[in-house]
Amino acid sequence: MKKTARQVLAIFIKLLLIVIVCKTVLIAGEIRTKAGQTGLVVTQGSTLRVRTEPNGEALGSLLKGAAVSVVEEIDGWYKIEFQGGYGYVSKDYIQILEVDNEYKEKLLAKGFPDSFILPLMKLHQEYPNWEFEAWNTGLDWSEAVEAESRVGKNTISGLTFSSYKSVEKGAYNLKNNTWVSFDTGGWVSASKEIISYYMDPRNFLDAYYIFQFMDQSYDQNKQTLKGLTTVVENTFLNTKSYKDCLMKAGKQSGVSPYVLASMIIVEQGYQGTGKSISGNQPGYGGYYNFYNIGAYAVSGMSAVQRGLWYAKGGSKATSYNRPWNSKEKAIIGGGIYYGDNYVKKGQTTLYLKKFNVQGEVKYTHQYMTNTQAAASEAFQLAKAYNKITDGMISFKIPLYHNMPTEGITKPTGSGNPVNYLKDLSVDEYEMEPVFKTYTQTYHLIVPSKQDSITIRGRTYSDKATVTGMGTIELNKGMNRADIKVTAENGNSRVYTIYIYRGKEADADFDNPQTTIQENSVSPTREPTAMITSPTVTKEAEPTSGKTKQESDKVENTKQSAGDVNGDGKVSIMDLLKIRKAILGDTVLTKEEEQRADLNGNAKVDIVDLLRVQKIILGL
């Protein structure tokens, strides 16, 4: 029977696929595609170390929740694809996933970005009745983090890593190198780095911490005395009187008694040693505040005193069952307060209770300043559900615009925290405004004939390192130079100088990004006697923006997906080029890779080949 051209082409493509599969299997045992399996990093820490060989030297690291492509298993280690080559990770910290493509597509259709998919698929495998809602906050990620990072809004224990603690103006005293206390007990303002970590939902998509995204409303059919007993196990609340009181509080407040119990444990400790519930504080004997409502230091009063003043009724207030002169009144009345003022006003999850990114008063009306509180309460709350694997639970997971492609790494540095410049200048020119340590944005105008400038400066701490200084070339029009200062503890700060080369009348410093001709400018030669810190590199940090030319290139790449050779059409020639790239017989240019990567996973693979096949066949 005579075959059509389309049938011939289809047969040819099948032969190509057979060759690729066979060659992949037979490459000297190097790639055993029995693998080709997808694994998920499930380490207890925030990162997993990748090694050059089993028990070998450190090669790099992977974030918790990251996806890996497993090549083979060797004596308790997985060989994985890593940074264009291979690395080894302990098998104990990788969970192999059976990829459910149908469920994956369902999550994508709901609006979850790629970086959320695998952790949620893992949870779905373990708890198939759990439902995940992608809730778009409508907020820009960087702006939200910046708003939550205002000094004093979020706090952290002063006893923790220096990288957890802010050194912003008002949070840290540069003169005597001490942190400013924002509450009794040594609580200080949290750093942007640790706030970013706790705000990023991807860091908490496991069977415990995900409960910070669960609805807190009361449901008598789902919240039982048996479940509550699980929550309060091994805590001071595990008595009949406390549990009965909490069940009453849930019913009267409209808040899950599991949530109320978790809040109390976080506020008062597992053994109930918090001073707010001792009943014997001087001047406030017989009064209790289990949820530490209104407990903050002010006007000479400690946080405990202020909270008990509120419990007593302040200026004779009687709302929420006050005065709280019994434990039952305090637990029920405090629950009603929380239900009326938080849950019923849209702060329906522990996450929103801590980071209020909804409603008309965003970034305010947050129940506690403790940056870690939502995660801590969620961990406690999960105990009520860890044996109810068949229960239907819904989780409302927040999404932001322009989030980083991967989850935020938890800072761990404990060295010197200072990442400030002591001075900053440009040879022969004066910046505006005049340099001040806490001011991070500057601008200046140079004549059109000035094709380069030299940036100099010194760090406040001799343990900090700097990039972005030196002599830099200037394009005509607007230029941007970023000077990045990294403290010994790893936290960084960027000072930015916008330089306009040309006529003063044409400089637009109100909208500098719209006129920048290059993403950044970088040093061209090593400066002399510039800084006190030990490291100076020859390249400025790139900015996050794209030039018009780059944006056009991205758009053109999208429009020409599959047209690998760039001849204006998708043909068998493109298919052959992808085949050669997969087999290692050719190396694609960056532009060719972008056009060949149809599934958007940042590599050219057999899935891309199949998609090009469908385009050619008109399927």
The domain covering 31-97 belongs, at the CATH homologous superfamily level, to: SH3 Domains (2.30.30.40)
pLDDT for residue 125? 87
pLDDT of residue 589: 85
Instruction: Indicate if the pLDDT at residue 172 is higher than 90.
Output: yes
**Is residue 86 within 8 Å of residue 60, measured between CB atoms?**
no
Q: Which residues contact 154 (CB under 8 A, 6 or more apart)?
A: 148, 189, 190, 195, 369, 370, 371
pLDDT for the residue numbered 500: 93
pLDDT of amino acid 383: 77
Peptide bond into 54 cis (omega under 30): no
Q: Which residue has the higher pLDDT, 528 or 297?
A: 297
Q: Which residue has the tokens 């690729």?
A: 20
pLDDT cut 90: percent of the chain above it: 54
pLDDT (mean) for 158-172:
96
**How many C-beta neighbours within 10 Å does residue 306 have?**
21
CA 603 to chain centre: 24
The answer on pLDDT for 220 being more than 50 is: yes
Print the SS3 string covering 289-340.
CCCCCCCCCECCECHHHHHHHHHHCCCCCCHHHCCCCCHHHHHHHHHHHHHH
pLDDT at 33 over 60: no
Residue predicted with more confidence, 496 or 512: 496
Query: What pLDDT shows up at residue 9?
Result: 60
What's the pLDDT score for residue 47?
82
Q: Is the Cβ–Cβ distance between 613 and 607 less than 8 Å?
A: no
Torsion angle of alpha carbons 15, 16, 22, 24, nearest 10°?
A: -170
Reported as a single tens digit per residue, the pLDDT across 568-597 is 778 767 777 787 777 666 778 888 888 888
pLDDT digits (tens, 9 = 90+) for 479-495: 999 999 999 999 999 99
Q: What is the pLDDT of residue 8?
A: 54
The fraction of the chain above a pLDDT of 70, given in percent, is 83
User: What are the pLDDT digits (tens) for 184-217?
Assistant: 788 999 999 999 999 999 999 988 999 999 999 9
Which CATH architecture group holds 1-26+548-619?
Orthogonal Bundle (1.10)
Which pLDDT band, with edges at 50, 70 and 90, does 272 fall under? very high
Domain ranges in the chain are: 1-26+548-619, 31-97, 421-545
pLDDT digits (tens, 9 = 90+) for 527-564: 333 333 333 323 333 333 333 343 344 444 445 788 88
CA of 461: how far to CAs of 177, 380, 485, 487, 519, in Å? 11, 41, 10, 8, 29
- For residue 439, give Cα distances in angstroms to 162, 431, 456: 22, 12, 16
pLDDT of residue 103: 92
pLDDT confidence of residue 578: 80
Which class is 421-545 in CATH? mainly beta
Rounded to whole angstroms, what are the CA distances from 46 to 93, 202, 282? 12, 11, 43
List, in order, residues 6 or more apart from 421 with CB less than 8 Å away: 435, 437, 457, 458, 459, 460, 466, 483, 485, 495
Looking at residues 220-247, what average pLDDT do you find?
92
Q: What is the average pLDDT value for the chain, to the nearest integer? A: 84
Model pLDDT, residue 4: 61
Please state whether the peptide bond connecting residue 411 to the residue before it is cis, i.e. omega within 30 degrees of 0. no
Q: Are 257 and 250 in contact (CB under 8 A)?
A: yes
pLDDT band at 345 (very low <50, low <70, confident <90, very high): very high
- Residue 245 C-beta-side C-alpha neighbours within 13 Å: 21
Average pLDDT rounded to a whole number, residues 380-400:
78
CA distance 51 to 90: 9
Longest pairwise C-alpha distance within the chain: 101
**Residues in the chain, overall count:** 619
Q: Are strands 131-140 and 394-401 parallel, antiparallel or unpaired?
A: parallel
pLDDT digits (tens, 9 = 90+) for 505-534: 777 777 776 666 544 555 544 433 333 333
State the burial class of residue 521 (Cβ atoms within 10 Å of its Cβ: 0-12, 13-18, 19+).
buried
Rounded CA-CA distance 257/246 in Å is 6
Evaluate if residue 363 carries a pLDDT over 60: yes
Split at pLDDT 50, 70, 90, the class of 617 is low
| Res. 374 pLDDT band, cuts 50 70 90 | very high
CB proximity list for 382: less than 8 A, separation 6 or greater? 207, 208, 209, 210, 211
Per-residue pLDDT band for 382 (boundaries 50, 70, 90) equals confident
Q: What is the pLDDT of residue 381?
A: 82
Q: What is the mean pLDDT of residues 50-63?
A: 87
Q: What is the pLDDT of residue 525?
A: 42
Identify the pLDDT of residue 546: 36
